[in-house]
Chain A
Amino acid sequence: MDPEARKVIEMGYGGAERLTMNMGPQHPSAHGVFRAILTLQGETVVGMDAVIGYLHRCHEKLGETLTYTQYPSIASKTDYVAAMSSELAYVRAAELLGKIEVPKRAQYLRVLVGELQRIASHCVWLGTWCMDMGGALGGGATVFLYCIREREMVLDLFEALVGARLLYGFHQVGGTRYDLPAGWVQTCRETVDFIDRRITEWEEMLEDNDFFLARARGVGVISRELAQEIGISGPLIRASGVNYDIRRAEPYSSYEDFDFKVPVETAGDCYARYRVRMVEFRESSKIVRQVLDGLPEGPISSRPGVKSVGQVRIPKGEAYARVEGPRGEVGCYLVADGSAKPYRMKWRGASFSNLAVLPHIIPGHKVADVVAIMGSVDPVFGEVDR
């Protein structure tokens, strides 16, 4: 008999036998390509092993072979759901090193697109999380389609501004590449108001809904100590009681000019992470309105427009710049050697560090909770594998 077959038949499925199940890289709810090797005892998960690397595309090597003018377009492909934040980390690192000033208008534009991107990214998070919990043929798909319908409006705004819907190439060293077209400000205000009303609708569907609360309350609790020890960031750490937001701790790109609340919850479960992100929706739209009200006139870049590939040269040094992306701290560590290409570039992916918490919180839960927890951690595997 086939030795594989013999192993399978001998294993048996009765009683206290532990089952090793693969929640494989091809899976409707793996949020990308992620392999989780679960050890099950009945319906309870007793162990979890994570395997990543299915989406590795050598970003850090690309950072060494592409110049400072070429790479920002590629940087958006790490966290492709929140492309603006990813580009911003790289560009800020280069500007820190080169001591390049960014004009006020460009800083405000960066805040504007960053917050609009946060709204769009959280739409994806809510939609996919509900779809994981509710099924592709069920209420989850309904919430997913509502979120995507609203996200399309934000993407339309980006399309009118940049020309692309998902991967922008909007930032460049010294400022931004595009300025606002005529009529964009009005459309943006209307869109943000419309989305605010629709967020209320989604909350009506989910908030207080016993089915939803039964899936999200008390599931996947990350204690405060664990959160600080492991090194997670973003909504995860704010849902566990630690009030840390890079936009407040180390304001960049004129974030200190804006008045917004940083939501913090103490429960640390999926429901707390949900509440944090729902409040972040509204705070982002608040920031967008403030930016539009106070947008100064002026240039959008402090350096002339890119005319040749080796135009930007950064002097020797090393710098680490970080950005509060929708998933957490996105950081770029840059070592420059005076030429037009970096000597070394390293990405700190928010999702990569966030995934480290999974083997600590998943054991003890049922299989159905694994997807709920993964959805609330909200990984994007472009950032994890780079």
Chain B
Amino acid sequence: MSDGPRDGFWDELGGLCRAVGRAMGVTFVNFLRKPVTVHYPDVTRVYPDRFRGVLALTYDTETGEENCIGCRLCEYICPPRVIKVEMLKSEKRNFAKTFTLELYACEFCELCVQVCPTDAIVMMKSFDVATADRRELLLDKDRLHTLGQQFERSWATGNILRDMQTPPKAAKAESAAQPKAAGGAE
């Protein structure tokens, strides 16, 4: 990239002119390029499948019942502890009596989605819930279910994530048999 060392007055002057010309040339080339601006909110870009947006609770697609069984695993794993669940015991299965999620403190780390055994809590492909009143971001169970119907769902659910991460039994046996081949200890 460098022109090399310059000596002499005319060499320096020529080098300066060349450098100036190059820099202004780069800005000129960028002047002719199309701007990268996306005219949000008139135009929204396409969110990828795995987008971590606002959280929502889901219903079972076949039976129409709530998926959440009130097991509180999400409450325990949440690092900033924004989820509070109360369980409601019933004959065949349990439900969540109350489920509050403080979205204004949520980190969007997807750990609650990761641990959910019934794929009840998921993330949506949207984050457009800005309000002027923080109390609207204290999501209760009804609001969470509404959000689940309102936006498009992301790809990740608990079972999908855990299946992706859990090593298959065959590979585990292989790695036990040949410790060297399956990647050394760090």
Contacts and interface: CB of A to CB of B under 8 A. Distances in A.
A–B contact, 8 Å CB criterion (strictly below): yes
Interface in B32-59: 36, 48-52
A43 interface: no
Nearest to A67: B77
Interface in B145-162: 154, 156, 161-162
Interface string B112-128: 00110100000100000
B184 A302 contact: no
B131 interface: no
B68 to A, nearest CB: 16
Interface string A154-171: 001001111110010100
Interface in B129-186: 154, 156, 161-168, 171-172, 175, 179, 182-186
Nearest to A73: B109
Interface in A203-222: 203-210
Contacts of A308: 73, 76-77, 115
B164 A300 contact: yes
A223 B117 CA distance: 57
Contacts of B3: 208
A107 B182 CA distance: 11
A41 to B, nearest CB: 32
A162 B50 contact: yes
B90 interface: no
Nearest to B77: A309
Interface residues on B, range: 35 or more
Given A69-B111, A74-B79, A104-B183, A163 B165 contact: no
A74 B108 CA distance: 11
A338 interface: no
B97 interface: no
A163 B108 CA distance: 10
Contact of B186 (A139, A200, A252, A298): A252
B164 A208 contact: no
B165 A169 contact: no
B160 to A, nearest CB: 10
B165 A177 contact: yes
Given A205-B23, A301-B165, A71 B79 contact: yes
Nearest to A252: B186
A311 to B, nearest CB: 9
A70 B165 contact: no
Contacts of B163: 305
Given A299-B171, A302-B175, A304-B166, A101 B182 contact: yes
A70 B168 contact: no
A19 interface: no
A306 B111 contact: yes
A181 interface: yes
B111 A169 contact: yes
Contacts of B162: 304-307
B60 interface: no
A123 to B, nearest CB: 14
A99 B179 CA distance: 13
Contact of A201 (B15, B26, B172, B179): B26
B26 A204 contact: yes
Contacts of B22: 204-205, 208-209
B82 to A, nearest CB: 13
Nearest to A66: B79
A101 B176 CA distance: 10
A289 to B, nearest CB: 21
A263 interface: no
A349 interface: no
Given A101-B175, A307-B162, A163 B123 contact: yes
Contact of A69 (B23, B77, B107, B184): B77
A96 B185 CA distance: 8
Interface of A: 66, 69-71, 73-74, 92, 95-96, 99-104, 106-107, 139, 142, 146, 149, 152, 156, 159-164, 167, 169, 172, 175-179, 181, 200-210, 252-254, 298-309, 321
6 contacts: A66-B79, A100-B185, A164-B52, A209-B20, A306-B115, A307-B162
For the complex of A and B, the 4 pairs showing the least CB-CB separation, nearest first, are: A305-B162, A299-B167, A305-B165, A163-B52
